[in-house]
Structures are given as structure tokens and as C-alpha cells.
Amino acid sequence: MPCFSFQRTSSHQTGRTTSRADLKDVLDRIVLLSALLFAFWATAWIFLVGFGGYYFDRTSYHPVGVNFWLFNTVIPIFPGLGLLGALVGIVKRDRPISFLVAFLPYVLNFVIYASLPALGEGQIYSDLTEAAFGFLTLFSAGIGLGLFGLAGSYYGDWRENRHPRNARISLVLLFLGVVVWGSIIWVWPGYGAAVPGLGLGL
């Protein structure tokens, strides 16, 4: 009987230790994702909200580096977020993080675009139908960039263990990401309406 009690206690303690380790892993992922989004995406919106009026209306010189930064984040027409996700995937080999760091900014951009009238800015989407198409457009483009991130994570696995399967999956995901993202950005006619910043004339 004492032996049974000891085994049950040991099992309970192991379960608690595992739960704490899982919770720590989740918290570490949340912190990493938040830090990456803030460093590359949120700072661009802070710049645009804080200095956008001066930058666009009062200066005649717009640095190429700043334009490139904005065109990868708040006015996304370049795959910078996808490349960031791929880099995270290669280094960390964490598939959820590598996907979300590329995907989430597009969804968050839609939330900000739709909220601009409440902040005293111009109306972006004229009705619910246009807003729905805008969301689907940005959601789909985000999926494409998320595939970039997943491709990077599988490539990171291949670098670690040299398993041919990981290399093939990485190439397939990268190809799919380019096709999905490129089709939305450069072929789908609704992207210009979904991303209002394209009319700013940087």
C-alpha cells in the first residue's frame, strides 16, 4: 500500500512538472512572437501614426529604407514578413511561430484599416461587403506569407538532420507561398481596395 501511494504521488508530481514545462513553452512562444511583431510591424504603425502626416505632407524626400520598411508592413506589397517568418523558422525551427509572425500582421492590418474611421481618419471600406472582401484578401495573402515561414522551419529541420523529406516539404511550401501570395498581391484586382495605403504615393 505505501508503495502504491508513493507511485501515485510520483506520477502526480511528474504531471505537474510537465504541465509547468508546457505552460513555460507557451509563454516563451507568446513572448517571442510579441517581440518580433513589435520590432518589425508595430514600430512601423507607431511611426506612421506619430510622424506619418509630417513624413508624407511636409517632406519632399522620402528615404528608400523607410519606404521599403512601410511597404513590407503597414502597406504590404513586398514579402518582408514572409522572409522574417522564414528566418525565424530556420533559426528556431518553431512552426507555429514562423507561420504566425508572417500571417498575423495582415489580419491585424485589416483590423486597423477597418478602425480608421473611429480614429478620425478616412473611410476605407464603404460597406460590409467591401470589408469582407478586404478581410478575405488580406487573410489569403497572410496565408501565403505564413507558408514562407513554414518553409523556413522545415528547411531548418533539414539543416539539422539532413532528411530529404524535410527539404522536399520546404520547397513545396515555399512554392505554394509564392503562388498564393503573388496571386493575391499582383493578380487579384481587389488588393488595391483592401490596402488603402497604396494610394499614398510613396
Res. 181: pLDDT tops 70: yes
Tens-digit pLDDT profile for residues 44-64: 999 888 887 777 776 667 787
Does the pLDDT value for residue 6 go beyond 50?
no
The per-residue pLDDT for 191 is 87
In the chain, % helix, strand, coil (3-state, to 5) comes to 85, 0, 15
For residue 51, the model assigns a pLDDT of: 81
d(CA 135, CA 132): 5
CA 53 to chain centre: 26
**Confidence category of residue 201, pLDDT binned at 50, 70, 90:** very low
Encode pLDDT of 106-160 as tens digits.
999 999 888 877 776 677 788 888 889 999 999 999 999 999 999 999 999 999 8
Longest CA–CA span in the chain (Å) reads 84
Contacts 24+ apart (CB under 8 A), 95-98: 95/149, 95/150, 95/153, 96/29, 97/29, 97/32, 97/33, 97/36, 97/149, 98/149, 98/150, 98/152, 98/153
pLDDT above 60: residue 2: no
